[in-house]
Amino acid sequence: MTAQHPSDTQDVLKSRKDAFRIPEGVIYLDGNSLGMLPRHVPARLAEVVTQEWGTSLIRAWNTHDWIDLPTRTGDRIARLIGAPAGTVVACDSTSVNVFKVLSAALALRPQRKVILSDTGNFPTDLYVASGLKELLAKGHELKVVAPEDVRAAITEDVAVLMLTQVDYRTGRLHDMADLTRVAHAAGALAIWDLAHSAGALPVDLAGTKADFAVGCGYKYLNGGPGAPAFLYVAPEHLDKVTSPLTGWMGHEAPFAFDLDYRPVSGVGRMTVGTPAVLSLSGLHAALDVFEDVDMADIRRKSISLSELFIAEVEARCPQLELVSPRDPQARGSQVSFRFEEGYTVMQALIARGVIGDFRAPDVMRFGFAPLYLSHGEIVDAAAILADILATGSWDRPEFRTRANVT
């Protein structure tokens, strides 16, 4: 039985918890890695499989509008990230979308050669940038500086500033409006990876004038394992950008079967091949849980949950060192603590039903998805963590075995 906490009585989002299928005995602090399953999604997916696929067959591309699922899903995500309708499309993985938007951005700044990023970026973004640079073979340089040095490193030779807004390891939040402004003043373009932002905090893509953005469908958006990602192109670039992956789904008239490529107008030109209808349907349906939700309420609750977690853990677990910014305004919706035996302690914690995750070399990471967490659960999670540390019950061989996925 979860403890009661006074903040839960004033929680305007508390009824949203019922929208999720929450396993008995689990306190889920990993919605930043894989969001929980909304209750209505299995039935919706069954319907897509048996009715739409099973009965309508090929006709469903038209009768169930499968063909527009990427842009229909993109429009639902757009509302959560401050983007106008018609600027977001759900497709491919975040890694592939980084490739596409980075290539498109570099093509808009042909005279410049520097891609600027930081050491807090998620490695796949840097790997993709490095691979693209080799492929282009035009002498681009990938410059990676410490997060606090980014602002000063935005010089007139930078073509593209490419950052992840919320650091996946520490939760440190970049000031998107400020850095985008500085980038534009220097003549550069800005790409933002919203993997740990979308669905977790208010994002204002239009207001901050970001040029491009990408993000994940399976984290705070609860789209399910391997759900399609999304990408955003600012309205002023929409009809200027070129995708490096010119597939038929980005063509103006895919069913004309012309031998020449002509990009469709709008964000659809950033799509490549046949949409993943099953997983897109899951993501599209999962986004129902955000209907009528104000992102400001999500942010308020996220801060309240994370502040409570830090206070509880610091009061009970002196062994752990906070690695996330202490100022909640400088943090996303996650909190991380450093402990040398963090991996082992995390496995012991998971065995007790408190699911967080671990990031090498020594970071225990806890994510707070405000739609399905209560303050009472936060207090319980901290108490269980404290018990594991105080009793040394984590120190067992079975918790030391490293799994493939941490």
| Interface with ligand PLP (CB under 6 A) | 93-95, 122, 124-125, 164, 168, 193, 195-196, 216, 229
Q: Is 193 a catalytic residue?
A: yes
With respect to ligand PLP, which residue has the nearer C-beta, 145 or 238?
Answer: 145
- The 3-state DSSP class for residue 336 equals strand
Min dist CB 333 to ligand PLP, Å, is 12
User: In this complex, which beta carbon is closest to ligand PLP, that of residue 229 or of residue 348?
Assistant: 229
Shortest Å, Cβ 32 to ligand PLP: 8
Query: Cis bond leading into 361, ω under 30°?
Result: yes
14 assigned to active site? no
User: Which is nearer to ligand PLP, 213 or 381 (by Cβ)?
Assistant: 213
In the complex, least distance from residue 359 CB atom to ligand PLP, rounded to whole angstroms: 11
> Which residue in the list 14, 118, 365, 368 is annotated as catalytic?
365
Tell me, yes or no, if 290 is annotated catalytic.
no
Closer to ligand PLP by Cβ: residue 75 or 167: 167
Report the helix count and the strand count for the chain, using DSSP H and E: 13, 13
* Minimum CB distance to ligand PLP, residue 373 (Å): 20
Catalytic residue among 20, 218, 230, 368: 218
C-alpha closest to that of 286 among 73, 105, 59, 89: 73
Is 218 a known active-site residue?
A: yes
Distance CA 126, CA 144 (A): 9
Among 73, 58, 26, 66, smallest CA distance to 267 is for 73
Q: Which one from 92, 118, 167, 193 is the annotated catalytic residue?
A: 193
Q: How far apart are CA 396 and CA 375, in angstroms?
A: 30
Least distance from ligand PLP to the Cβ atom of residue 253, Å:
30
In sequence order, the 6+-apart residues with CB closer than 8 A to the CB of 10 are none
User: Could you give phi then psi for residue 325, rounded to 5 degrees?
Assistant: -60, 140
User: CA Rg, the chain, in Å?
Assistant: 22
Distance of alpha carbon 263 from alpha carbon 377, whole angstroms? 50
Residue type, 241: V
Closest to ligand PLP by CB, 269 or 365: 365
Nearer to ligand PLP, 200 or 379 (CB): 200
Residue 219 near residue 35 (C-beta atoms within 8 A): yes
Picking from 197, 200, 164, the residue whose alpha carbon sits closest to that of residue 179 is 164
122 catalytic residue (yes or no): yes
Contact yes or no for 289/109 (Cβ under 8 A)? no
CA atoms within 13 A of residue 91's CA, in its CB half-sphere = 32
Catalytic residues: 122, 193, 218-219, 365
